[in-house]
Structure formats: C-alpha cells, structure tokens
Structure 1
C-alpha cells in the first residue's frame, strides 16, 4: 500500500521533467500561491493592527484624544474591544475550518475560494467606508457592527485559508511552501506598516484608512490571482487532474457504504497525524508566547530614547517575530530536516519549543506580581523572540509540506484542509493559554 501511494504521488512531483506535462514558466504559479498566502492573512493582520483606530472611535468623548491610550480613562467598550474581537473571531474560525475540511469533496473548491474571497473583500470595503464617517453619536451600533464584521470576516477567512491549503495540497510540495511563505510575508508587511505609521506620526484615522485600503486591494488581487490559475497551462493541468481524480473517486464512493467512506477519512488522518500534531504544537506554543507575553516585555533602557520606549515593542516583538517567521518558512523550502520519513522527530522538535514559554516569562514582562525577572538585558528578548519566530516558520512549513505528500492524490485536498484545522486549533488553544500565562507573571 505504501509503495502504491508513493507511485501515485510521482506524477505531480516530477511534472517539470515530463515532456507532455506543462512547466511553471517564470514561476508564475509559485508566485500566485505566494500571493494567495499573503491574501489569507494580510487583511486580518491589518485589521488587528488598527487597534488605535478602534480606541479612537470608541473613546470617551469628554476627554482629549491624547488620553485614549490611558487604561484608567478608557470606556467599557474600549476595555472590552480586544477580548470581544478575539471571541468573535475564534469560534467562526474553528467552526468553518472544520466545515471546510469536512466538505472538501461535497463543495467545489472553485466555489469555496471565490465566495470566501468575495466575502472578505466586501467586509473590508464596508470597514473602509466607516473610517471617515463620524460615529461619535452611535458608538454602540458601530461597536456591534464591527463585531458582526469580525464574525463574517473570520468565517470567510477560515474557508479561504483551509481551501487554499487544500488547493496547495494538489500541487507539488514547493507550492505549499509558497503559500505558507506568503502568509509570513503578510505578517511582516503588517509589522513594517505599523512601524512606518508610528515613525510618520499618522493619526489613527489616517493609519486605519491606509490599512483597510491595503487590505481591500490585496483581497481583490488575491481573487484575480486565483482566477488566473485557470488560465495557466501548468496549474490547469493539476486542477484538471484533481477534478478527474475526484470524479472517479466520487463515482466509486457513490456505491460505498458510509462506513467505507469513514474508513477512507480515518486512513488519511492516520497517515498525517504526526504532521498534524507537530503543527498543532508549534502554533500552540507560539501563540502562548506571542503576542501576549512578548509584547509586554519592556526595555531595560525604557526611558533612554524612543527606540527603547515607543518603538521597542513594535520592533522587538512584532517585527523580529514576523521576520524570523518569514525567514524560517523560506528556509524550510530548501532545507528539509527532519525528513518526511522522520515524523516523530518533527513532533519532538515542536514539543521542545515549550521551553520558549518560561524563557519569555522570565524576561521583564510587565505588569507582574508573582515571578521574578531573570533575564533583564534587552539581548534576551531579542534572541528568544527571533528564535521563536524562526522555529515557528520552519517547523510549520515542513509540517504543511509533508502532510498532503503522504496520501493519495485524491485525498491531498482533504489532507491540506485537515492540516489547516490543526493549525487553527493550535492558534485557538495557544491564545487561551496566553491569558493564563499573563495572570501567572
């Protein structure tokens, strides 16, 4: 059985060598997958980066604009905003990831990709339209509308991301690496944009307009790039091959019993569980530390200059993590250790990263009442956060590349979507753990 599955994977991996199989000229399809990865995360990254904008919109109107960041003077809506956004995004994200993975063979991938991308685009056009509207007289409706937008946006993003990973699973592994690298570029782009707006001294409204305009443009570009996949010979070959395999599989499964179809699902999950567990552990550890703990770390020279005060968190926490994450995902494309034949080593490496949690908690994260500060120098958070991002990107790339590669072509889309579910569950659990860890400081 193992030999049979390996033989059925040969065609898409050796496609550049076969005379009758198209080639990826100018790496056009690879670039498109990078853009799809960028489009799956960059809009959401810009949404959560616009924190100052929402604090401004929900501010106490009797106070000056300079006081919107003062925790002692915040309104109830300002205080609840971040937690409300996290809650409003987590549940639909989890549900729609499971939904997408469960219905990969029932709902056509083209419909899922186009509808979800259009949903994201419409939500950002709506969000953009509210930026320059005076909402002072209807703050509560604005707050509710924002949370509804978050729910719809999260659902659309979950369907798009899971479908994108399923789509990448149909292609050779380097295209999965392209997708995850594009996601990392999205995080890095958002971190750089945040730093630039701080340096420029932009107002919350101007920054938010730039963020949401960029998110809208990227969402539109993502939709266009996905459509282009059906116009390029190389991608058309793989998409048509997948349709043929799925149709044959559907014809066979129509006579199968429910138990036989369930057996096929469990067979795939049995094949990819080490990679699924490893990517789950990777993101659970990363989200336990980042950004809740890492963004709370202050510089030992916090009163020395703007770079160790105002810009310290933006650079050391967000920029370094996203830069390390991006580098790790690129390196994972050509340096694949452990190998696909060493799944348990991949799980162990992912588990060992738990060490980052106490290391970052013992840095000077404030406020704290229980734990001592062991690592006082700024060098420690710089090194720890850079390595956290680097290992996150590297291990996540290996897991996402290996999973769909271990199953039959007809199951590759389901395997890719299932890996996306593992990622999402890890993100959700890590976020919950971070709330506990902050209380333990």
Structure 2
C-alpha cells in the first residue's frame, strides 16, 4: 500500500522565519561593514609620536599601507575559507559551524571594542588589527557559506530575504559614517560605539539562529530532504503486497541507498555553473569601480562647504547601499530573466557598461575626459549600478538551489558564496589597474 499524500508545508506564522532569515543576513555583514566605517580611527591609531629637541610632540604617520593590507587580509581568507566550507559541511555539522563562528566573531569584536580604550604602540596595534581582520573574515566565510546552505533548503523567497538583510547592513554602515562626519563626539568614543553595535548584532544573530529550528515552518523544510528519502524507500518497499524476490529486494536496497546519498560537489557544480559564473561577474564589475573610483567623484558645487563635506557619503555610499537593498528585495516581486533563460548571462554582461560610465564622471584629477560632470548624473548612474548589483546577485543566489534536487540544495547554497567572494577578490584586484587609469 502506498503512503498517504505528503504533508503540506505549514504556514510561516507571523512571518517569524522570514524575519529571522532577514536578520541572519543582516547579522552576517553588519559587523564587517561597521569595521570598515572605522578606518579613520585605525589610521589615527597607527601614528608614531615623536618628541623633538625643543620638547614638543609631533605625530608622524608611518606608512603601514593599512588600506591595502586590510583589503588583502579580508579577501584572501574569505576566498579560501568559503571554498573550504563547500567541503567542510560534509564532515562538520552546520549547527557547530554556525554557532562556533558567531561566538568567535563576537569575541573578536569585543576585543576590538576593548582595545579602543587601551594605549598600544602602533606596531603592536597594527599586528593585532590585521590578525583580527584575518580571523573575522575567516569565520565569517564559514558563517555565510553555512547560512546560505541553510537558506537554500527553504523556499526561494527566503534566499532573497537573506540577501536583502545583507544589503541593509551596508545602509547601517553608511548611516554610521554620515553620523560620524556630522558628529562632534570624541573619535575614540565614536569608535567604541561602532564596535559595541556589531557585538550586539552578532549576539542577536546567534539567538535568532538557535530559535530557528524550534519554529514549525523552518523545521518542516530543514528536515524535508531526510523525510523525502525515507518516504521514497518506504513507497518502493510497500508498492506490492507480494513477497519480494531476492532480485527485487536487492534493487530496493540499492534504491534506498541512492535516495539517501547526496550528489558530489562536482556534480552539483555542473548544474549551477552558469549561476556561479554570473554571480562572479556581477561582483567583479561592482568591486572594480566601487569604491576605488566612486569615492574620488566630487561635487560640482565646491563652494557649498556643507554639501561638499557629505557628498561622498550621501551620493556614493548611502545611494549605493539603498539601491542595492532595493535590488536585492525586487526578486520577491518579479523575477526576470528566468533561471534557464539565455538572456540571463547577457543581462549580467551588460553591467560592464557601468565601468566606463563611472570612470568618466567628475573624478578628481581624472586623466580621462569627464562626460558626466553634474552630481545628478553621477547619482543616476550609481543608483542603476547598485540596483543591478543587488537584483542580479539575489537572482543568482536564489536560482542556484532551484537547479538541483532538494537534497542538494545545501550543497548548491554552500558553493555559491565561494563564487560570490571570488568575484569580490577579482574585482578588488582589477580596481588597482582601473584606479591608475583614472
């Protein structure tokens, strides 16, 4: 006798699971975004205090190449450990990976917050900061890959919500940057506030993750793959009331074993390679000009000191992050092109046009001919640039798990962040060349 009809999925009561997934996305990127906004604080800490012959103190900046080392020691561990996580999930349980990563990130940011009030020699402070950057990104890579894999087991719109949460983290960072510019607070007090905020956010992320399996809607989807395998084998075994022959019994055992097995990482990649390539290209284009080129764009209203002071923060960072969030949220309303449409890679390739468009804006001391000098032109270009980044990236991350079996959704979800980070690394590398051309 065949099993009864499969149980229909429960409702997401009060949209609790949706809210948690959104906050998980927010929590994964908000700590690092807040870390980035405090770059001025780090540069000021990395100064050497010299005493002249007449007894006066002079602060002499030492060339630590902080920004270059920060970029290198953030992208490298993200790339390496996102790849490692694609294989790590097969040996280490997801719960252990996520909880351990969040606890380590919380401790590292607590240490960074505590060091705000501790006097240290620049060399020692630089070493501690670089080590913190490395380990935060190392565990953040494992965290993001694990959570993308978890979200891949839920319905597609939850992947979009997760990406939207990550987009909101950038807005928080941009608003914090604006507040720091307009604020008259003492710099170290502001820095302490920066690092307490991601500590609280990381703790909230941990609590949300621990709550998720206790919600009926999430529990249904997270355990569905295992349940489906058991149902399939039971249906096969009970498909006839007659006694099974030895050959039929052997075939049923083979079927049951095959149903329980997941596809290999390579087999999953063969099904999602187009989405992987597209998300790589999306972020390569984005990081090649943002922020290395966009932060150099200046306002035409140089006489307005107040506007000149906040122009980069508002027109570059806030506009970018707001439109990126809008783009990440848009797939919940419409999805075009479809996941199997030949137009999808064409649309992704079309974003290459933003590179020359942004390079020919009103960039300070530009070697190129300025074609878009007005502030409004720059705002329109970067708004479209950011929207397409968020929209296409969200589609890629949402489509990939749909191209494989439900039991392979976690594998696909864990693979995609590697290609996302690969795009970030390639874009950051390309930005050095484009920065010299402008």
1:100 matched to 2:85: yes
Gaps of 5+ in 1: 1-10, 12-17
Partners in 2 of 1:62 and 1:254 — Cα distance? 74
Aligned residue number for residue 355 of structure 1:
353
Deviations 1:250-291 (A, max 9, x none): x989989xxx98x74333212111111111111111111111
Partners in 2 of 1:224 and 1:428 — Cα distance? 31
Aligned residue number for residue 340 of structure 2:
341
Describe how 1:213-252 pairs up with structure 2 within 5 A: 213-242=196-225
Whether the 8 Å CA contact 1:88–1:151 is kept in 2: the answer is: yes
TM superposition shift of 1:20: 4.9
Whether the 8 Å CA contact 1:34–1:179 is kept in 2: the answer is: yes
Whether the 8 Å CA contact 1:56–1:204 is kept in 2: the answer is: no
TM superposition shift of 1:87: 1.1
TM superposition shift of 1:207: 1.9
TM-score, with structure 1 as normaliser: 0.87
Partners in 1 of 2:217 and 2:110 — Cα distance? 33
TM-score, with structure 2 as normaliser: 0.88
1:32 matched to 2:20: yes
Aligned residue number for residue 364 of structure 1:
362
Task: Tell me: CA distance 1:81–1:252, structure 2 relative to 1, closer, same or farther (3 Å).
Answer: farther
Query: How many residues are treated as equivalent by the alignment?
Result: 406
1:155 matched to 2:155: no
Describe how 1:397-436 pairs up with structure 2 within 5 A: 397-436=394-433
Q: Secondary structure at the match of 1:383?
A: helix
Aligned residue number for residue 284 of structure 1:
284
Whether the 8 Å CA contact 1:117–1:223 is kept in 2: the answer is: yes
TM superposition shift of 1:172: 0.5
Aligned residue number for residue 133 of structure 1:
118
TM superposition shift of 1:313: 0.6
1:56 matched to 2:44: yes
Partners in 2 of 1:428 and 1:336 — Cα distance? 27
Describe how 1:66-215 pairs up with structure 2 within 5 A: 74-77=61-64, 80-135=65-120, 138-215=121-198
Whether the 8 Å CA contact 1:105–1:246 is kept in 2: the answer is: no
- Alignment counterpart, residue 377 of structure 2, candidates 380, 387, 395: 380
TM superposition shift of 1:90: 1.5
Partners in 1 of 2:291 and 2:229 — Cα distance? 41
For the aligned residue pairs, the C-alpha RMSD in angstroms reads 2.4
Task: Tell me: CA distance 1:216–1:246, structure 2 relative to 1, closer, same or farther (3 Å).
Answer: farther
Partners in 1 of 2:145 and 2:411 — Cα distance? 9
Task: Tell me: CA distance 1:157–1:133, structure 2 relative to 1, closer, same or farther (3 Å).
Answer: same
